[in-house]
Amino acid sequence: MNSVKANKAKGLRPLDPSEGPRPSNALMRFLRGARSSRSKSRAASPSQKPQLMDSKGEPLAGFQGAAPLGLACLTLFLAAGPAHAAAPGGLTLMSEAVGAGGGAAYSLNVQTLLVITGLAFLPGILLLMTGFTRIIIVLSVLRQALGLQTTPPNMVLSALALALTVFVMQGVIQQEQRLAIDPYLAGQISFNQAVAAAEPPEQDFMLAQTRKAPLHLFVDLSGGHYATPKDVPLTVLVPAFATSELETAFQISFLIYVPFVLIDLAVASVLMSLGMIMVSPTLISLPLKLLMFVSIHGWVLVLGTLANSFVLPP
C-alpha cells in the first residue's frame, strides 16, 4: 500500500496485471534520460538537417534531408571513384586495341567474360545445333516401349546420347578445330574470325539433316530470298534443323515402338482367352520384351540405326 501511494504521489498509475511484467526501475530511468536528452537536442537546433558536404566543407545543393543510407552509399561511391581512377595498373575490364587493318581486339578480361557467358548457352547449342535431340528422343521412347519407367536412368541415357552425338559429329568437330580453334589458340586469327571460320562446317551438317518442308517454312516466315541453301543464315536454319530433327526422331521412334506393342497385344489376348483377367499383361509381357530385345542385340541395332540415320556432309 505504501508503494501504491508513493507511485500516485509521483504521478504513476498502478500496474495492470493484464499488461504483463513491469520493466525494472533502472530501465525506466534510462528511458526517461534518453527521452529528455533527445528533447533538449531538438530544442537546441530545431531546424538542423543532415547535409552532404563536399571536399571544401560546403553543403551540396539538392541533398539536404537525404536518407542516411543514401548518403553513406553516395559518399562511398564518390570516394571510390577517384581512388580507382588514380590506381595505376588496376584491373581494366574494357580495353580495345585497334590493329593495322582497322580491326579491334578486346582484352583478355572481356574475352573471359564472353566465354563464361557463352557457357550458359551451351545446353541450348547442344540441343538445337547437334544430333543430340534426335538421339535422346529415340532412347526415351525405347525405354517407354520396353515398359521400363526409370531403367536405364535419365543420366545414363543422356550420357549415352552425348557420346553418340560426339561420335556422329566427329568430322564436324575436327574441321572446326582445324579451321577455327587451332589458329585462334595460336594467335593467327581473332575471335570474330574464329567464329566465322567455325560456322561453315556446322552449317553444312545442319543443312544435310534439314528437310525441305521445315526449311521452306522458316524461309517464308523470315521473308528473305536466298539463292542457295548455303546462303540461309543461322537464325533461319537453326529452327528448321530442330523441327526436322523432331520429325525424324518421331519416325524412328514409331518403327521401334510397333514390335513391342504387338507383344503387349499378343500377351493380353492370351491372358484374356485363358480367363486370367485379373493378371496384368505388363507383368507377363515385360520379361518377354526384355528377352526378345536382348536376344536380337537390340542396343546394337538401335544405336547403329541412329548413327546411320545422320547424313554426313560431303
pLDDT of residue 254: 92
Q: Is residue 52 part of a domain?
A: no
Reference 261, options 240, 242, 288, 297; nearest CA is 288
- Supply the pLDDT for residue 159: 92
What distances in angstroms separate CA 159 from CA 136, 140, 150, 154, 162, one per listed residue? 10, 13, 15, 9, 5
> How many CB atoms sit inside 10 A of residue 163's CB?
12
Quick check: pTM over 0.75?
Answer: no
Task: For 86-98, write each residue's pLDDT tens digit.
Answer: 344 444 444 444 4
Domain assignment present for residue 176? The answer is yes
Give the pairing type, strands 96-98 and 104-106: antiparallel
Is 83 part of a structural domain of the chain? no
Three-state SS sequence of 261-282: HHHHHHHHHHHHHCCCCCCCHH
Give me the sign of the Cα torsion angle 261, 262, 267, 269: positive
Q: What's the CA gap between 15 and 28, in Å, rounded?
A: 14
Domain assignment present for residue 273? The answer is: yes
Q: Determine, yes or no, domain membership for 36.
A: no
- Residue 272 has which C-alpha cell? 484374356
| 301 vs 279: CA distance, rounded Å | 32
Match 504521489 to its residue by C-alpha cell.
9
Per the CB < 8 A criterion, the answer to whether 238 and 128 are in contact is yes
Residue 88 lies in a domain: no
> What is the torsion angle, in degrees rounded to the nearest 10, for the CA atoms of residue 133, residue 136, residue 137 and residue 143?
180
Neighbours of 128 (CB within 10 A): 16
pLDDT of residue 80: 43
What range defines the domain where residue 224 resides? 132-308
Q: What is the C-alpha to C-alpha distance for residues 271 and 261, in angstroms, rounded to an integer? A: 15
Give, for all 314 residues of the chain, the pLDDT tens digit. Answer: 555 455 554 455 555 555 555 555 655 666 666 566 556 555 555 445 445 455 555 555 544 444 444 444 444 444 444 434 334 444 444 444 444 445 555 566 777 777 787 788 778 777 888 889 899 999 999 998 888 888 888 899 999 999 999 898 888 888 888 888 888 888 888 878 888 888 888 888 888 888 888 888 888 888 878 878 788 888 888 889 999 999 999 999 999 999 888 888 888 888 888 887 777 777 888 888 888 888 988 899 999 888 888 877 76
Q: Which helix (H) or strand (E) holds 211?
A: none
Q: Is the dihedral of CA 157, 145, 293, 303 positive or negative?
A: negative
- The total of structural domains in the chain comes to 1
Residue with cell 521452306: 216
111 assigned to some structural domain? no
Residue 6 forms part of a structural domain = no
